[in-house]
Amino acid sequence: MNFLAGSEPEPHFDQLYRELILDHYRLPRNNRVLEPADADLTQFNPVCGDEVRLTARIRDGAIEDIAFVGQGCSISQSSASMMTEAIRGRSLEDASTLASYFRAMILGEDVDEAAMGDLMSLQGTSRYPTRVKCAILAWDTLQKALGGTSGREDVGSSDPDSGG
Amino acid sequence: MPDQSQQLNVEAIRGDFPILSRVINGNPLVYLDSTATSQKPKQVIDTLADFYRTSNANVHRGIYTLSEESTAAYEGARDKTTEFINASSSSEIIFTRNTTESLNLLAFAWGRANLNEGDEVLVTLMEHHSNIVPWHMICAERGAILRFIPVTDDGLLDLTDIETLITERTKVVSFTHVSNVLGTVNPVRELVDRAHAVGAIAIVDGAQGAPHVAVDMREMDADFYVFSSHKMLGPTGVGVLYGKRALLDEMPPFLGGGEMIMEVREDGFTWKDPPWKFEAGTPNFADVVAFGAAIDYLTELGMDKIRQHEIEITDYALRQMRSLGEGVTLHGPPNAEDRGGVVSFAIETIHPHDIAQTLDWEGVQIRAGHHCAQPLMRRLNVPATARASFYVYNTNEDVDRLIDALKKAGELFGRQ
């Protein structure tokens, strides 16, 4: 058999790994570094080493262009990819609002599905507490980047990956 | 009467571990994370519960029956530990909270008294953070320098330039017995001898050693050997620091308080002899007593048989993983004889977290992450690995379940 060949979907699998997530994971959108950029921030999830670097160009209070590079699990990378699509061209205020909606959704709250669009595909993550940080990493980076932070830092300080 | 056969009776062993009857996400539990912590047999669980039910009282205190019983049980576990690792005397066995605390005790008590500007501490690139961070801390405090023995592509220590790494400036050589990521069994005696040849002390992190292979302190000749109860069928919250008596006598105390003192005056204090010198405050005596039961259990099984079982199951796992074909990378030494019961791996196109997540739905519990070994992750050029590890209660059927679950993950992530 071919180890990496396809098979029929599974209910468990499909709740978390929606087809749209896998699609963004395999073919990440806006997957590059913008140079020059008005905002440039890299953040890590120290638990698993997920990494997202965001670069953005800001014009007249709006996100003219945004791109990401990074490495990590399907949730963290697809989330970053979808985020760049969702916020390009939006005002900083809109982007910030969407970020708070996204955070609310991942923490299990009801949100306006129409406003979320494709981002709804990540809602399943809310049932997996260990994956919440994966989904939020890109949005966290965005909020910090637009808040003026730049450089590299870790998201959160706790590290459950102990016990070696 | 001890079992005279050459193989572990794994079926009987499994009957001793209540947790193995659990169902996880609709599937029977396959526990493959003993490197992080082992499961506990009923003999250990019962000893802990019985101690609290029948013998609980603080140790080394009262002149009354319960306290005497409790003290005898606590010191009895120290004697069992002494015998288990063939130390010269029970005064060489100090109980701590875990391996990490044992290493911190050494870095701060020994390091503060002995490290000076320009001295070097040598560790390896395959260390757990617990054998790196305390040395970073004490080196910064003392102006000493932390250096690393590199690792080969095959996951072995690269000793090519060892003579330029272990020099007259080296004061400490601290290294892992068995890698928690690669499974690599290191050449302990060779490194101990090289450390001693330049007058350095040798510290061995036995967190993945003592639970899996027979260790003999008099034969190994390490100055310090540290390990944890919870990785060897015992309770959490108990670590062991073995140290040669002469070094324990020279080393200043670390934590101060009750239990460790001889006399306290307004102008100072004197302390007890080892091991109590290093056991300030009420020790975790109940868990130590249960740790004694874990040592009894392992001794009854036989450490040589345990080692043989782990080689066999690891060999089977390595062969089955290789049979999955392209797209699977195995980290660490290729031969099971050169490694402990640990298999770290990567699957092309599936991140370790996604592997662990999909395996969990099949009841298969593996670890994904950096395994508290970020310098090694950078050396392997991976952000994380997936890791399956084996112990006395694991079977080839567990490996089959792992492989089936990996095939399923491959199919699900592979579909277009």
Shortest CB distance from A164 goes to which of B371, B377, B407? B371
Question: Cβ separation of B414 and A1 shorter than 8 Å?
Answer: no
Task: Find, among B385, B376, B328, B374, the residue nearest to B351 by Cα.
Answer: B385
Pairwise CB contact (< 8 Å): B348 & A4: yes
Yes or no: say if A112 and A163 are a contact pair by the CB < 8 Å rule. Answer: no
Give the ipTM.
0.81
Percent of chain B with pLDDT over 90: 92
- Please state which CATH class domain B10-41+302-413 belongs to: alpha beta
The string of pLDDT tens digits covering residues B293-325 is: 999 999 999 999 999 999 999 999 999 999 998
Is A152's pLDDT higher than 80? Answer: no
pLDDT per position as a tens digit, A42-100: 999 877 778 999 999 999 999 999 999 999 999 999 999 999 999 999 999 999 999 99
Question: B384: which chain A residues are within 8 Å (Cβ-Cβ)?
Answer: 48-49
pLDDT value of position B329: 95
Domain ranges of chain B: 10-41+302-413, 46-300
Judge: A48–B128 Cβ closer than 8 Å, yes or no: no
What integer pLDDT is reported at residue A164 of this predicted model?
47
Interhelix angle B396-414/B352-361, rounded to 10 degrees, is 110
B353–A48 C-beta distance less than 8 A: yes
Tokens of A83: 């985020």
**How far off is chain B from A58, nearest CA to CA, in Å?**
31
Contacts of B370 in chain A (CB under 8 A): 48-49, 161
Nearest beta carbon to residue B358 from set A2, A3, A13: A13
**Closest C-alpha among B159, B142, B151 to residue B183:** B151
How close are the terminal C-alpha atoms of chain B, in Å? Answer: 58
Q: How far apart are CA B364 and CA B357, in angstroms?
A: 9
For residue B150, give the nearest of B135, B165, B128, B170 by alpha carbon: B165
Give the pLDDT score at A1.
Answer: 40
* Residue A153 pLDDT level (bands cut at 50, 70, 90): low
pLDDT value, residue A150: 52
Of B128, B326, B369, the CB nearest to A47: B369
Highest-confidence segment of B62-66, B191-195, B326-330: B191-195
pLDDT category, B326, cuts 50, 70, 90?
confident
Q: What is the pLDDT of residue A160?
A: 42
Q: Which of B321, B348, B411 to mutate to test the interface with A (most CBs of A within 10 A)?
A: B411
Give A86 to chain B, closest Cα distance, Å: 24
Per DSSP, helices labelled H in chain A are 11-16, 19-26, 74-87, 92-106, 113-116, 132-146
Q: How do residues B29-67 score in pLDDT, each as one tens digit?
A: 999 999 999 999 999 999 999 999 999 999 987 789 999
Tens digits of per-residue pLDDT, B228-262? 999 999 999 999 999 999 999 999 999 999 989 99
| CB distance B307 to B214 below 8 Å | yes
What was the pLDDT predicted at A151? 57
Q: In this structure, what token pair is assigned to residue B45?
A: 């669980």
When the pLDDT of each residue in chain B is averaged and rounded to a whole number, the result is 96
CB contact under 8 A, B354 and A74: yes
Instruction: Collect all residues of chain A within an 8 Å Cβ-Cβ radius of residue B232.
Output: none
A158 CA: distance to closest CA in chain B (Å): 13
B2 pLDDT exceeds 60? no
Partner-chain contact A163 B372, CB within 8 Å: yes
**Is the CB of B371 inside 8 Å of chain A's CB atoms?**
yes
Nearest to B324 among A3, A7, A71 (CB): A3
Query: Would you say B372 and B37 are in contact if contact means Cβ atoms under 8 Å apart?
Result: no
| pLDDT tens-place string over residues B341-351 | 999 999 988 99
Contact criterion met (CB < 8 Å) for A6 and B414 = yes
Query: Is A6's CB within 8 Å of B411's CB?
Result: yes
pLDDT at A10: 64
Q: Which CATH class is domain B46-300?
A: alpha beta
At which residue do the structure tokens 């330029």 appear?
B164
**Rounded average pLDDT over A27-41:** 96
Residues of chain A in contact with residue B372, where contact means CB-CB under 8 angstroms, are 161-164
At which residue do the structure tokens 């005596």 appear? B285
Q: How far is A118 from chain B, CA to nearest CA, in Å?
A: 19
A16, A49, A128: residue with CB nearest B384: A49
> Residues of chain A with pLDDT > 90: what percent?
68
What's the pLDDT at B304?
97
- By the 8 A CB rule, do B34 and B365 touch? no
Q: Structure pTM?
A: 0.91
Q: Give the residue with greater pLDDT, A3 vs A117.
A: A117
Handedness of CA B153, B155, B158, B159 (dihedral sign): negative
* Calpha distance B66→B64 (Å, rounded): 6
Contact B390, B366 (CB under 8 A): no
Q: Does B37 touch chain A (CB under 8 A)?
A: yes
C-alpha distance from A92 to closest chain B C-alpha (Å)? 32
- Residue pair B220/B204 in contact by the 8 Å Cβ criterion: yes
Q: Above 60 in pLDDT, residue A159? A: no
* pLDDT at residue B46, as a whole number: 98
The Cβ-side half-sphere exposure at B397, using a 13 Å CA radius, reads 7
Residue of A nearest to B230 (CA): A163
pLDDT of residue A13: 80
Domains of chain A, CATH where assigned: 11-151 (3.90.1010.10)
From chain A, pick out residues whose CB is under 8 angstroms from the CB of B325: 2-3
Confidence category of residue B413, pLDDT binned at 50, 70, 90: confident
Nearest CA-CA partner of B192 in B156, B168, B225, B233: B225
Q: Is the dihedral of CA B287, B311, B342, B325 positive or negative?
A: negative
Scanning every residue of chain A, which has its alpha carbon at the shortest distance from the alpha carbon of B37?
A163
Q: Does B330 touch chain A (CB under 8 A)?
A: no
Q: Please answer whether residues B59 and B76 qualify as being in contact, where contact means their C-beta atoms are separated by less than 8 angstroms.
A: no
- Note if B372 is an active site residue: yes
